[in-house]
Structures are given as structure tokens and as C-alpha cells.
Amino acid sequence: MTLRANWSYPTAVKFGAGRIAELAEQCQAIGLKKPLLVTDKALASLPITLAALDQLEAAGLGRACFSQVDPNPNETNMEAGIAAYKAGGHDGVICFGGGSALDLGKMIALMHDQTMSVWDLEDIGDWWTRADASKIAPIVAVPTTAGTGSEVGRAGVLTNSVTHKKKIIFHPKLLPAVTICDPELTVGMPKFITAGTGMDALAHCLEAYCSPFYHPMSQGIALEGMRLVFENLPKVYANPNDLEARAHMMAAAAMGAVAFQKGLGAIHSLSHPVGAVYNTHHGTTNAVVMPMVLDFNRATIEEKIIRAAAYLGIEGDFDGFRSKIMELRSTLAIPENLSAMGVEAARLDELTGMALEDPSCGGNPVEMTRENTRALFEACL
């Protein structure tokens, strides 16, 4: 009997426009008295962040903010955050922002009082049991983009600044105690971030849907998540103030992250090394390699994609689905290929090695080898 798996479904989500007004109340409900708000440099001075800090201060929770977070956060950012957490005597972390801020905030909550290295908690087997779970701080997540889905996930991505490798750090207690999904917070995103993060949500749904593992709940969520992205990402790109479409994108992002418990694949295993070496935007990089990865997996996923196309109202089976993605990419001004993102052919061997070490590669429907992965990279140039 192969129908055997371990499943978890995510955290409490307070979903809806304007619900950021509940931030202080939700922090108090989980017992926080002095949270540290972790965000990124760009967000730190924006009105949405200042309003959140004002609200915390008015409720007697202080207004501590740490924002030294790089776009692909690394252990140096984490150590600085831990120093701020300890110096301020904090009792929990509010992860406020896009994927980078959410993931780094989680790392600070995880590592502020552990004795082992963060790299010993990589998402491999039961390595997470090495952490002292009683010393992980409670997390409140507030996404301001719609893509990563980290707000409903139990992991964070951290880049090793020495090896330039991205590692997935996992612990069940990284699941936020509460998440506030307020689509109004995403209205001010720059256009290319709306596009890139939205394509990350699509990549999560698509890769989860295509992964070979048995998880029919995730399968259904992934399919509906794709529908929400196809229908709403062009709307929010054309009209950033379309709040209803913003809400659907925010739901799709959370759904993508719930779905990818089922597995990711070659889109992410290619995108992670490219992002680590060239500091490219994660979701945009996913969008660049997506059509080539579909071709790469075609023989194995064609039937599944035909079923998806039927549900999504896309004509033309597999080719129609691929064309729909190409159309979406051009609507969103996604670069044509990895060369346009600055990736050099001379580094393909190195990138191939890194892709094969990436944990996402195990969920790809077609087994990834040195030879076929290098050829896939070449097709993406």
C-alpha cells in the first residue's frame, strides 16, 4: 500500500482587507508583551510599517524594528537580528514583509537561544529534532507581498554567505502562531515585485501539482491556486489598486505554500542557485525557467497538465497551457531567459552541481541528473 503520508495543515489565518488593525490584539492573544518587528530595509520607512509600529506602541507593546535584511538574507543578517532581539529583551517576532523578511524573522525566532549552528537545522530527515523547541520564540506573520507563502509555512530559506548556497531551514515550530493576510498591504508593491512574487505563487502551485508524491488535498489546493493566479495576476499588474484581485492573489500565495508540502521541483532547484549566485529575484527567476521546465517534464506530466487545462478553461491541452504561461510572462514583462538576467554559460557546471544538491530537485517528476540538468540550464539561457 503506497497511500501513506504525513500531512499538516497550516496556522490560524486572519484574512481580509483592513485586518492589520488587529495586529496588536493578535500579539496580545498569544501572550506577547515585547515583540520585535522584523522587516526589510525598503519597507522600514513606509507608511504601512510605521502604522503597524504606531499600533504596537499604542497598545503598550513597544515599537522595536529590525530591518537589516538583504533580498536573499544570510546568516550575518540573522546574527545581527539575534543581537537586536537579545538586546531588546524581546519575547516574540513579528515577521512583516515579503519572503526575505518573513524568512529572516523566522530564523531569528528559531535561533536566538540555540546552541547549534543554523546549518545543522537544514531540512534533511529529522535534523529539526536537534533544536531545543522550548527556545523557539512565537511568530506572528504579516505578508506584504503575495507569493512566498512563508506566512503559512514551517520553513525559511537562508543563504550561506560563504558558499552562496541557499538552504531550507525547517522546524515545525516555525509555523506562525497567527498570520494576518491583509491584501491592502500589497497595494503599494512595485510592479516587478507584484509580477515576480505572483509568479512564485504560480510556481509553487504548478510544481506541487506536478510532483509525484501522494497528497490529494494539496493537489486540489494547487489547482485552485493556479486558477486564482491566472485570473488575478494580470488584473493586479494592470491595476495595482484592485483590492479584490489582490485578495485572491494573497490567498493563492498561501495556497501555493500549503500545496508545496507535496513537493517542489526543477523550477525551484534551478532558481535557488541562480538567486544565490546572481542575487536575482526568486519569483522572477522561477517565471523565467518555468516553460523550459514544463518541456523537460512533459512526458511525465502531460496527462496531469491536460486535466489542469480542462479545469482552468485553457484550450489546447499541454501546448495551450504552455502558451498561457508564455502569454502571462509577456504580460508581466518577465525576462525572456536566464542570459537576460545575467547568467553566464561559463558557470553552468557550478549551477548544475548546486541545483542537484537543492532539496527541491527530489520532487521533480523526472529524475534530475547532471547531464539533463545541465541541458535544461542551457535551454534556459
Query: Minimum Å distance from CB 261 to Fe ion?
Result: 13
For Fe ion, which is the closer residue by CB, 26 or 197? 197
User: Which residues within the stretch 194-223 sit at the binding site for Fe ion (CB under 5 A)?
Assistant: 200
Q: At what angle do helices 216-238 and 191-210 cross, to 10 degrees?
A: 160
- Min. distance of Cβ 200 from Fe ion in angstroms? 4
Question: According to CB under 5 A, which residues from 149 to 188 bind Fe ion?
Answer: none
Residues in the chain: 381
**Taking CB positions, which residue lies at the least distance from Fe ion?**
200
Task: Give least dist CB 356 to Fe ion, A.
Answer: 18
d(CA 37, CA 56): 10
Q: Report the SS3 class of residue 175.
A: coil
Piece of the chain touching Fe ion by CB under 5 A; list 22-30, 101-109, 175-183, 192-200: 192-200
DSSP-assigned letter for residue 215 = -
Stretch that binds Fe ion, among 42-50, 106-114, 193-201, 222-230 (CB under 5 A): 193-201
Q: Which is nearer to Fe ion, 61 or 368 (CB)?
A: 368
Cell numbers found for residue 141: 506573520
Min CB(287)–Fe ion separation in Å = 11
Helix (H) or strand (E) holding 359: none
| Triad 125, 119, 41: Cα angle to 5° | 125
CB-nearer residue toward Fe ion: 40 or 200: 200
Q: Is 358 in the site for Fe ion (CB under 5 A)?
A: no
- Closest to 33 (Cα-Cα) out of 119, 115, 140, 136: 140
Inter-residue contact 140 to 176 (CB < 8 Å): yes
Cell numbers placing 14: 486572519
Please report where in the chains the cell 493576510 appears, as a residue: 181
CA distances from 157 to 36, 279, 361 (A): 20, 14, 15
CA angle 345, 351, 353 (to 5 degrees): 130
# of chain residues touching Fe ion (CB under 5 A)? 1
Nearer to Fe ion, 36 or 253 (CB): 253
Residue with cell 550575518: 76
> What's the min distance (Å) between Cβ of 204 and Fe ion?
6
The site map against Fe ion for 223-242 (x = CB under 5 A) is --------------------
How far apart are CB 305 and Fe ion at their closest, in Å? 20
Q: Which is nearer to Fe ion, 35 or 143 (CB)?
A: 143
Q: Tell me how far, at minimum, the Cβ of 50 lies from Fe ion, in Å.
A: 29
Q: Which residues bind Fe ion (CB under 5 A)?
A: 200
